[in-house]
Structure 1
Amino acid sequence: MKFAISYSTAYYGAVDPDGIVAFARHAEECGFEALYMPEHIVLYPGAGFGSFQFPPDLPFVDPLDCLSFMAAATDRILLGTAVLLLPYHHPVILAKRLATIDALSKGRMRLLTVGLGSLPGEASAFGVDFATRGRRADEAIDVLRLLWGGDENGVSFDGEFFSFDNVCIYPKPHGLAHLPIHIGGSSRAAARRAGLRGDGFFPGGALSAEERRAQLDLARSTAAAAGRDPDALEYTRWGSMDMEPERVEELAAQGVTRVVVSPAAGSPDDQRMEMTAFAERFGLGK
């Protein structure tokens, strides 16, 4: 089992550069595999899902810029998103940004997780039809891999949302033809997307055990039907900082290969204590 940790400036209500660096360095010292960051590009009064509403002044930093900042302050820890809202990014620009981060970090931008987003007003801000964001994301994944795999002769694409002729993008990812792309989402559509296009599946949400099993089975069966190796699909889940080894054993029995946890404490000192205790409990870095 691999263990990663998430960080969000929105959770702490402020953007503290020194605190971000200290968090990243301590996570690396503790032996966490990766740092994950969420994304919301815009919020607005009333934005939310279900009964939960986002305060519109939450300071969500750009996750890729912040991960670059963290990478410059660390040496080994991998970089991830949970999730990057793919329909709201142009894949040609995104291919360049991701490959640049991977090259400058010497191959650490390896846990990109993409999702569709759940806020209609966020889609409207970018002129994206909320109803088409699934198709848009599928096409964007294809464009990213095409651009990363292209050579100096250029590649072309003619799709529903994106089109270009004979273009080249350099630099390439560090030592890889394509960066891994994990699929986030708590729906069966996300599970199918993971099976068809993903290198991993990272569901969230408050799903029943039966629905989680059904979605993982769907991801794997979809991969097999598409001629892909279902056993190569990584399976990431959220966990808690106070989880015990017995819970990790349960998740491993369900096929989970990575657990991502978030600090529950508010103060930086308490966060570091939480992270240290978690690392010692599971023998990270040994």
Structure 2
Amino acid sequence: MRFGISYSTPHYGVDPDHLVAFARLAEECGFESLYVPEHVVLYRGARVGSFELPPALPYADPLDTLTFVAARTERILLGTGVLLLPYHHPVTLAKRLATIDVLSRGRMRLLTVGLGALPGEAAAMGVDFATRGRRADEAIDVLRLLWAGDEDGVRYAGEFFELEGLVSYPKPYESTGLPIHVGGSSRAAARRAGLRGDGFFPGGRLRPEEVAELWELARATAAGAGRDPDALEYTRFGAIDMPAGRVEELAARGVTRLVVSPSSVEPDEQRAEVEAFAKRFF
């Protein structure tokens, strides 16, 4: 089992000193990875399920945030939980992600992408909310083509993107591609993970039986597409005060990574929670 930690700028703020101290503490304590979320824009009345998002929540840009973290840490892997893929052009995104990976010497390795659940956010980005799933599928394909392509360029013709002889450098650090994990709480997300993903990261507002069904769907979809279902990584959110028995139970269900976050917004209390978790598991 590997352990990641989430730094939620909407809850913890965007103070650079706090962010650096948090990331360094996580690294010192032995956490594998640090995740940050994304919303490009909010508006009054924006809801995820029954929860209304206050419009002034400070969602910092996740890739800029991870670049900042990478410059002030040495080992911790960088993750998004999740990056809203339909709202990024894959040609620009391929360049940004490869650059972060090169400058961090191979630490931009836990990109998790999702679709977004706010119609107003899609409209603000000029994206048809109903087509964002197909757009994300194409974007994944374009990212991988650009990373793997050589100086002769790549070609792609899809519903949303068209490339002809395009070349993108630098490549990811010592690699021809970056892992792409798929996040989400729907059957479509699970199928996308099985068809295109390197891992599945289901959402946090699901009942245990629902999560289990989605994981089995992801694995079955991978197998049906001729992919190895055992190669899929399985990431889940977990409580920072969870007992060892719960971690063992999740590991037995195939979970390969748990991502936790402190319950407190106070730095001293956060430190205590992070250190207590590390003491139990590392």
TM bucket by the smaller chain? over 0.9
Matched, 1:22 2:30: no
Secondary structure of the equivalent of 2:175? coil
Unaligned stretches of 5+ in structure 2?
A: none
SS in 1 for 2:4: strand
Query: Is 1:31 paired with 2:56?
Result: no
Letter in 2 for 1:73: R
RMSD: 0.8
Trace 1:68-107 onto structure 2 (pairs within 5 A): 68-107=67-106
Counterpart mapping for 1:1-286 below 5 A: 1-12=1-12, 14-283=13-282
> Distance between the aligned counterparts of 1:49 and 1:153, measured in 2?
44
**Residue range with higher mean Cα deviation, 63-72 or 210-219:** 210-219
Give the distance between the partners of 1:149 and 1:119, measured in 2 at CA: 32
By how many angstroms is 1:264 displaced? 0.6
Measure, in 2, the Cα distance between the counterparts of 1:83 and 1:168: 27
1:112 Cα deviation after fit: 0.3
Q: What is the rounded CA distance, in whole Å, between the counterparts of 2:218 and 2:5 in structure 1?
A: 24
CA contact (8 A) 2:199 2:233 kept: yes
Q: Give 1:157 shift.
A: 1.0
Q: TM-score, normalised by structure 2?
A: 0.98
- Describe the SS at the equivalent of 1:231: helix
Looking at structure 2, the residues matched to 102 and 120 of structure 1 have their Cα atoms a distance apart, in angstroms, of 31
Per-residue CA deviation, residues 116-173 of structure 1 (Å, 9 max, x unaligned), is 0000000000110000000000000000000000000001111100112101100000
For residues 78-109 of structure 1, the C-alpha deviation after alignment (integer angstroms, 9 at most, x for no partner) is 00000000000000000000000000000000
The answer on whether the counterparts of 2:204 and 2:237 sit within 8 Å (CA) in structure 1 is no
* Residue identity opposite 2:109 in structure 1: R
Counterpart CA distance in 1 for 2:29 and 2:68 is: 19
Secondary structure, counterpart of 1:202 in structure 2: strand
Secondary structure of the residue aligned to 2:165 is strand
**Structure 2 CA distance for aligned equivalents of residues 232 and 212 of structure 1:** 18
Please give the alpha-carbon distance, in whole angstroms, between the structure 2 residues aligned to 1:261 and 1:206.
Answer: 14
Residues paired across the two proteins, number: 282
Question: CA offsets, 1:196-234, max 9 Å, x none?
Answer: 000000001332332222211111111111111110000
Of all paired residues, the percent bearing the same amino acid is 72
Distance in 2, Cα, partners of 1:105 & 1:250: 34
In the alignment, the residues of structure 2 paired with residue 274 and residue 210 of structure 1 have an alpha-carbon distance, to the nearest angstrom, of 28
Query: Which secondary structure does the structure 1 equivalent of 2:164 belong to?
Result: strand
Counterpart CA distance in 2 for 1:58 and 1:8 is: 10
Return the alpha-carbon distance in structure 2 between the equivalents of residues 258 and 51 of structure 1. Answer: 28
Distance in 2 (CA, whole Å) between partners of 1:82 and 1:194 is: 14
